[in-house]
Structure 1
Amino acid sequence: MMETAEKAWPSTRMCPSHCCPLWLLLLVTVTLMPMVHPYGFRNCIEDVKAPLYFRCIQRFLQSPALAVSDLPPHAIALNLSYNKMRCLQPSAFAHLTQLHTLDLTYNLLETLSPGAFNGLGVLVVLDLSHNKLTTLAEGVFNSLGNLSSLQVQHNPLSTVSPSALLPLVNLRRLSLRGGRLNGLGAVAVAVQGLAQLELLDLCENNLTTLGPGPPLPASLLTLQLCNNSLRELAGGSPEMLWHVKILDLSYNSISQAEVFTQLHLRNISLLHLIGNPLDVFHLLDISDIQPRSLDFSGLVLGAQGLDKVCLRLQGPQALRRLQLQRNGLKVLHCNALQLCPVLRELDLSWNRLQHVGCAGRLLGKKQREKLEVLTVEHNLLKKLPSCLGAQVLPRLYNVSFRFNRILTVGPQAFAYAPALQVLWLNINSLVWLDRQALWRLHNLTELRLDNNLLTDLYHNSFIDLHRLRTLNLRNNRVSVLFSGVFQGLAELQTLDLGGNNLRHLTAQSLQGLPKLRRLYLDRNRLLEVSSTVFAPVQATLGVLDLRANNLQYISQWLRKPPPFRNLSSLYDLKLQAQQPYGLKMLPHYFFQGLVRLQQLSLSQNMLRSIPPDVFEDLGQLRSLALADSSNGLHDLPDGIFRNLGNLRFLDLENAGLHSLTLEVFGNLSRLQVLHLARNELKTFNDSVASRLSSLRYLDLRKCPLSCTCDNMWLQGWLNNSRVQVVYPYNYTCGSQHNAYIHSFDTHVCFLDLGLYLFAGTAPAVLLLLVVPVVYHRAYWRLKYHWYLLRCWVNQRWRREEKCYLYDSFVSYNSADESWVLQKLVPELEHGAFRLCLHHRDFQPGRSIIDNIVDAVYNSRKTVCVVSRSYLRSEWCSLEVQLASYRLLDERRDILVLVLLEDVGDAELSAYHRMRRVLLRRTYLRWPLDPAAQPLFWARLKRALRWGEGGEEEEEEGLGGGTGRPREGDKQM
């Protein structure tokens, strides 16, 4: 047979004969358990950055008990918003005695039982907004003596029990906005005992009257009654609003100024009346309200109304702020505000102004010297003209023209404000910014040009802004940064170019920014970044935002130097969500040089290949995000985090991970927060858990964890306390939605473990002891009887068969295949002999042994081509043995031996089985002399044609070739 068909016998491994007792196994299990101890809450999550602050949001809870039952009693804040609770039972939070803040917004609360907040003696903030409460009953707020803020906004609240709020002796802020209350009097009765109340919000109710009712608490400073149905202010006593400083009556239906004569308003410092059809000047004539206490915004001023307002505001003291919002102003002529007192702040927002010009023209001389803040937002301004030579406002430092329709800004448009520090031109339609528009603004520190239509930034546009620290150009249409565009910005620290159309950056793009610390280039169309781009800012840049660009790398090797290698001060780098489908691979040493980087975000990329050396230089990294890469990553390469010993936060949510290994996570000894939700993990490796000694927060939600004995340790790990596991009681057993990791039956993992170990190991040990002895002592005897049995079986099946398929089966080694195929086969098959050859006639797919047995029994003779290679072949030896068994069984000589080589006694002695065959059987030698070879073929053919073995034994003197005869040999 062929050498390639030979098979080595399997080696035998010895197993220990003893078994571990149950207690020893348990001891080993406990010893190998991780040193960190997790804890979790059924429906809440503790804030990682704010310990004892708990969020139980959107858990579909119908009772607070489902959330608070497993919370620690020393919890400080609790958020139960966006659930389905309808009722609070008495003492629902009794064991949370240290709670300071309780948020119950966006539930379905209809009833608050008396004593619902028992035990919350230190509660400071309670928010019940956006529920379905219709009444505040007596006894509801018992025990809340320390409450400072109560929010009951946007409830269909129609009644408040007179004594419901009495326990709130320290209440300072009360909001009942968005209810269905009809009168202030009932509320005044409920709050009259609140000696600390400072703010009362009753906006958006159905109030039609102020009384009847007692005076409001003397501590009340702010009363908000906006968006009600007040037509008159009757019913309230004159002293009702005696102590109120800020009164908001905006958006009611008050049309008669006489209704204010019934109230004492002299102490009011600010009165809002916007949205009322009221003659404001008549009001000032008949009431005791001070003109400077009235907010003129939104009031109908009529013809010459602005002059009348200014005359009313006259006084010896400067006016802090004049607010003229929503007055329908369309045009402001020169000196329009010269009759007004000296102002510090002027707000003309929410009007219809189309032109303001240079602000100095609106004011008188004294006003120009004092004005500091100018706000003209939400108007219809279309352009800002040149103001070269205009009146100067020496103290004006803040100007805002946001939310207009400004298309162009002329040269030196702000020359009237040489002291300007803050300029907001954002959210306009700006398409042209003159190169000299910002000249002489040497004191400007903040410039906002975001959300406009700018396409080009020109050289020297910012040349005079020597003190500018923040420049915002976000969401424009800038596609090219020309050389020198930022020249002169020596103090700039923040540059925001996000949301533009930048495709390429050159080495000159960032020149002139020696102190830049924060650079935002997100949501552009950058195709690549290089180290030369960041060369001008490499010493100072700390934050670099490259989110949502078009960065792509098609090879793991960079032809150019790593793009960030010189940014030695960078501590925050954002590369997530590259378009259109995200980064697919990271080149080797991509982050080389970022030795101080602390935060790196690579989320929302389809990373398919991450080399293990990519984070090699990030020894100071504290936060790494690789979330939402499920269509790319599968398992992280070994050693990828080996240098991240300072990592605290790792986000691998939806990254497609299948396993956690020590080779990946073994070095993260300082990791505190680990997000693994929505991965393909079936277990959380216990050896990995033991190495994460600093872990405090673990998220395994929506992972197909399995309920097997391999996860038995995980069940115990989840029920301890140190690491917070997010919602540990919700982890189901893979696809079994009714079985949970924290409670699956683990008894099967311990049932009679010692007995099972003994029963399984003892027979195995005995068998392994017996098998080698039997193998050594009786291998060939057993093998002989086995094949004798098979021969007997085969003979029984073939007992009636008289004809053979082949004249001879040729047994040879692959090393002699050329002689067999080139000489033996042509000579015999041309002589009408039918030969069986293994490579041609063996049936594919059958066992080798079965093919050999069939070949021997389906052939009249078996020709063995003997050589040194043949003697060393186990399979050839087997074929000889099978032929011998047939010889013994049938009593017929069917074996013909052909010696290709002269094998001496010394060599033959090592193959005792073949030696015995050669000593007992006749054989033919292959002559090397060509003249003797025809005789050899004649003798071989005659041996194959011979009938019975007895006749063949009588032939003599037929040996072919020379050689020393051996004892007992018979040559043909």
Structure 2
Amino acid sequence: MRWSIMSFVAFFVFVGGSMSCDITFNSTDVIVNCNLSGIPPVPENVTILICVANMDFCNSDLFCNPKFDKLRVLDISLNHLHFIPKGCFSSFTVLEKLTLSDNGYLGFDNLYNACYGLNQTLIQELNVNRINHQVLVNRPFPRNISRLLTNTSLHTFNLEYNSIKFVEGGVLYYLPRTLQKMSVRGNRLSLFNTAEAIIEVNYLKNLKDLDISYQSSFRPRERKHVPLRDESVTYKQNPCADSYFIKFPTGLEILRARNVYYTHSCLPPVRTSNHSHLKYLDLSDSGFPEWIGPLGFNSLEELDLSENQCTFIKTDFFNQMPNLITLNIEKNYLGSFLASSSSISVFQELRSLMYLKMKDNFINHLPKALIRYNILLKELDISHNEIEALDLDIGPLKQLTYIDCSSNKLATLPKSFRDSLDRLVENTNMELKNITINLSRNRILCTCENLDFLKWCMISQVVVRFSPNDTCTGYDGNITLAYQYLRNECNKSNGAREWLYPVQTICILFILSVFALIVYKKRWSIIYRWYLFRLQRKGYTPIEGCNEGYQYDAFLSFADEDRPFVNQVVTKLEENTILQCQVCVHYRDFTPGRSIYKNIVEAIHMSKKTVVFISRAFLKSSWCKYELRMAMTEESYRKRQVVVMVVLEALPNTDLPLDVLQYYNKKSYIEKPTSQNDMEVYWKMLENMVANDDDLY
């Protein structure tokens, strides 16, 4: 029969069981280690007995032996113990440390048995983690256990992950006043069902370190996007409007409250007793998206607010923490807030701050004056963000030694920021100071334009740190190789650039000038064709079969001052039964609601001829001159005579525009006679010029 791997391991452990416990000696202790598979006997003069995960032999017959009167340390964790006799450890008069952790079936009844008689020992540390997570999870922690410990010299009590949801009154009150460190991490306590215990904790005058983390939740919160604060909304019931007073034990220096269930979604204003000596506070991963405050912790030196999904910090939130040295606000959503002007003064009152951690906050911009007043700042961590440009005012930060900008989107550092770093390298005694900036995993640009920055990275007294795998944007290789390559290539091309740039500029200006001149000379043709194109886009086509495809025989262009005479022309042309002319005049035939420009172009394009009545009033009208230019453009487009020029009054050449004067010299025109006798000849000439269709070429 073939053995499996697990069978082999079991066989190995069984064989190993034939070995005795490991016994070592030193000048003060006899140490017996029966971990996993050691077999007693154990010498009676043992001082340290460790029997972990040895379920076969680690039982009450072993660890309740009253002959172990010199035993100082006993660790019987992870043995699946179900029972401990009452007063089992009372005979160990010099016992200082007892560990019963990871025996999930013991429960609080057996903890009572274990604590019975400990007042006859020198017990200082009691570890009972994970002894109740298999039984009676809704049973409150009994105060009779605390009563058994009242007269002991206990200074460390660890009661972690025991599914404690309630505590009986007096549990903390009856604990020994010698207690300095206590942990109830990983239970199910809340502020509602432990209100009495919160008051009782103040009786523990010597308590220095308290851990209440991970209450009501055994899994860390998932980091997810939360909506940004809407300043325009007025909240009728604001839980952060009221101030809260919290009294801590006078000796408490460390409070760990990570991932604890709170009723508020914000950090409200908090006041503490003037006698508080709290130095370290951990409120991380507790779901505070808004920090209102202020938090009145005058003695606080380190504050951890990381992983709170925070999007907003009130300006005076940190104003009552004059002694704060370390501030951790990592893994929040402060990018939008820090990019706003309201964030400029948020750290202003933290004059003792030395370590500021803002990594992983979706930051893309930081105000220049954000840390200007934190003159004692030594280390700044803004890594794992989305910063593309960094220009913080770090000039006053004479103690600065380290900036972590890794894993951002930086392509370069501005010269002003580099100069500030160089000045900080030398202190007042002109002695070199070590300053490091971490730029690894960014998007450093390796081009000739950024060569000055790359050179600074290589020769500056500031320690510029890159990752060995960092590559350049614009060069296939690491940054050091890129600098060496660009230093040679950019220097070669500098001479060429000195004359190439001016030549390129002159050529571009010449081409633009020629193009502008052509456009200017052809401007009317371009305008006409543009409007014609738009008409065609809208479905316009000449009406076929109507006078060779034209809607009108003539479009009459004139000034309003000449309208009486033009009315006579309209009558003469349209009442001529032989010609049967149809003319277009703006006051009658233009389409209402359409722009004048489009009406003019359409009328000229739909007319066989354009009759222009030149007078002083005509030359003063911008619309008349526009109609003339469009008609001349149509004439060029059709390659036949379109414009019929009629001069209504004698005009000197000096009054004529250049394009009209040129047309005078090249084309024929007719003048209005001054006597009535000549009018018949005039009408005949006008009718003939309108009726004829002479080609230009």
Is 1:575–2:305 an aligned residue pair?
yes
Q: Which residue, 474, 485, 506 being the options, matches 2:213?
A: 474
Q: Which residue, 597, 600, 613 being the options, matches 2:327?
A: 600
Q: Which residue, 679, 682, 700 being the options, matches 2:439?
A: 700
Counterpart for residue 402 of structure 2: 673
Counterpart for residue 177 of structure 2: 442
Is 1:614–2:327 an aligned residue pair?
no
Please give the secondary structure, in 1, of the residue aligned with 2:327.
strand
Please give the secondary structure, in 2, of the residue aligned with 1:861.
strand
1:807 maps to amino acid: F
CA contact (8 A) 2:553 2:607 kept: no
Please give the secondary structure, in 2, of the residue aligned with 1:692.
helix
CA shift, 1:656, in A, is 1.7
The 2-side partners of 1:784 and 1:574 are apart by 68
1:433 maps to amino acid: V
Is 1:398–2:154 an aligned residue pair?
no
Please give the secondary structure, in 2, of the residue aligned with 1:385.
helix
Is 1:742–2:483 an aligned residue pair?
yes
CA shift, 1:708, in A, is 1.8
CA contact (8 A) 1:541 1:570 kept: yes
Cα 1:790–1:747 change in 2 (3 A) is farther
What does the per-residue CA deviation read over 1:902-928, in whole Å, with 9 as the maximum and x for residues that have no partner?
A: xxxxxxxxxxx998249xx9xxxxxxx
Between 856-865 and 750-759, report the one with greater CA deviation: 856-865
Is 1:524–2:260 an aligned residue pair?
yes
Is 1:840–2:598 an aligned residue pair?
yes
What does the per-residue CA deviation read over 1:708-754, in whole Å, with 9 as the maximum and x for residues that have no partner?
A: 21111233223325333333664423275457533433445333645
CA contact (8 A) 2:610 2:631 kept: no
Counterpart for residue 543 of structure 1: 280
Please give the secondary structure, in 2, of the residue aligned with 1:412.
helix
CA shift, 1:659, in A, is 2.6
1:529 maps to amino acid: C
Cα 1:746–1:809 change in 2 (3 A) is farther
Mapping for residues 679-718 of structure 1, pairs under 5 Å: 679-693=408-422, 694=424, 696-718=435-457
Aligned length: 556
CA contact (8 A) 2:525 2:630 kept: no
What does the per-residue CA deviation read over 1:259-292, in whole Å, with 9 as the maximum and x for residues that have no partner?
A: x9xxxx9999857574799xxxxxxxxxxxxxxx
Cα 1:840–1:349 change in 2 (3 A) is closer
The 1-side partners of 2:121 and 2:28 are apart by 33
Counterpart for residue 8 of structure 2: none
2:443 maps to amino acid: P
Counterpart for residue 682 of structure 2: none
Counterpart for residue 112 of structure 2: 385
Is there any run of 5+ residues in structure 1 with no aligned partner, and where? Answer: 1-226, 232-250, 278-297, 314-318, 480-497, 773-778, 795-800, 813-826, 844-850, 899-912, 922-946, 957-972
1:437 maps to amino acid: V
CA shift, 1:841, in A, is 3.7
Is 1:511–2:247 an aligned residue pair?
yes
The 1-side partners of 2:19 and 2:611 are apart by 126
Greater helix content = 2
Is there any run of 5+ residues in structure 2 with no aligned partner, and where? Answer: 1-10, 222-237, 426-434, 530-547, 561-583, 661-666, 677-697
1:573 maps to amino acid: L
The 2-side partners of 1:398 and 1:584 are apart by 42
Cα 1:452–1:736 change in 2 (3 A) is same
Is 1:299–2:57 an aligned residue pair?
no
CA contact (8 A) 1:649 1:673 kept: yes
CA contact (8 A) 2:31 2:49 kept: no
Counterpart for residue 61 of structure 1: none
1:547 maps to amino acid: S
Mapping for residues 505-904 of structure 1, pairs under 5 Å: 510-513=246-249, 516-526=252-262, 527-536=264-273, 540-553=277-290, 562-564=292-294, 566-578=296-308, 582-586=309-313, 591-606=318-333, 607-610=335-338, 611-619=340-348, 620=351, 621-630=353-362, 633-660=363-390, 662=391, 671-693=400-422, 694=424, 696-720=435-459, 722-727=461-466, 730-734=469-473, 737-738=476-477, 741-751=482-492, 753-754=494-495, 756-758=497-499, 760-761=501-502, 786=521, 807-808=555-556, 828-829=585-586, 831=588, 838-841=596-599, 859-861=610-612, 894=645
The 1-side partners of 2:280 and 2:28 are apart by 48
The 2-side partners of 1:426 and 1:538 are apart by 29
Is 1:428–2:166 an aligned residue pair?
no
1:950 maps to amino acid: I
What does the per-residue CA deviation read over 1:157-199, in whole Å, with 9 as the maximum and x for residues that have no partner?
A: xxxxxxxxxxxxxxxxxxxxxxxxxxxxxxxxxxxxxxxxxxx
What does the per-residue CA deviation read over 1:467-489, in whole Å, with 9 as the maximum and x for residues that have no partner?
A: 2222222233299xxxxxxxxxx
CA shift, 1:409, in A, is 4.2
CA contact (8 A) 1:388 1:415 kept: no
The 1-side partners of 2:132 and 2:634 are apart by 108
CA shift, 1:459, in A, is 1.0
The 2-side partners of 1:275 and 1:394 are apart by 25
Is 1:411–2:143 an aligned residue pair?
yes
Q: CA RMSD in A?
A: 6.0
1:608 maps to amino acid: S
Cα 1:605–1:766 change in 2 (3 A) is closer
What does the per-residue CA deviation read over 1:120-176, in whole Å, with 9 as the maximum and x for residues that have no partner?
A: xxxxxxxxxxxxxxxxxxxxxxxxxxxxxxxxxxxxxxxxxxxxxxxxxxxxxxxxx
Is 1:451–2:186 an aligned residue pair?
yes
The 1-side partners of 2:121 and 2:141 are apart by 21
The 2-side partners of 1:744 and 1:323 are apart by 64
The 2-side partners of 1:811 and 1:743 are apart by 76
Please give the secondary structure, in 2, of the residue aligned with 1:745.
helix
Is 1:354–2:82 an aligned residue pair?
yes
Mapping for residues 923-942 of structure 1, pairs under 5 Å: none
The 2-side partners of 1:658 and 1:890 are apart by 65
The 2-side partners of 1:739 and 1:856 are apart by 73
The 2-side partners of 1:668 and 1:623 are apart by 12
Mapping for residues 43-62 of structure 1, pairs under 5 Å: none
The 2-side partners of 1:531 and 1:893 are apart by 88
CA contact (8 A) 2:177 2:203 kept: yes
CA contact (8 A) 2:356 2:380 kept: yes
Cα 1:838–1:544 change in 2 (3 A) is farther
The 1-side partners of 2:266 and 2:343 are apart by 17
The 2-side partners of 1:863 and 1:705 are apart by 70
CA shift, 1:299, in A, is 2.0
Cα 1:612–1:672 change in 2 (3 A) is farther
CA contact (8 A) 2:156 2:180 kept: yes
1:714 maps to amino acid: F
CA shift, 1:446, in A, is 1.9
What does the per-residue CA deviation read over 1:417-472, in whole Å, with 9 as the maximum and x for residues that have no partner?
A: 41322222224344453323341522222222223344532415546423222222
CA contact (8 A) 1:371 1:395 kept: yes
The 1-side partners of 2:554 and 2:258 are apart by 82
1:745 maps to amino acid: L
Mapping for residues 191-206 of structure 1, pairs under 5 Å: none
Q: Which residue, 929, 954, 957 being the options, matches 2:674?
A: 954
CA contact (8 A) 1:862 1:883 kept: no
1:474 maps to amino acid: S
CA shift, 1:788, in A, is 12
What does the per-residue CA deviation read over 1:195-215, in whole Å, with 9 as the maximum and x for residues that have no partner?
A: xxxxxxxxxxxxxxxxxxxxx
The 1-side partners of 2:403 and 2:608 are apart by 70
The 2-side partners of 1:675 and 1:542 are apart by 26
The 2-side partners of 1:273 and 1:517 are apart by 36
What does the per-residue CA deviation read over 1:856-883, in whole Å, with 9 as the maximum and x for residues that have no partner?
A: 9974327899699x78x8x998888898
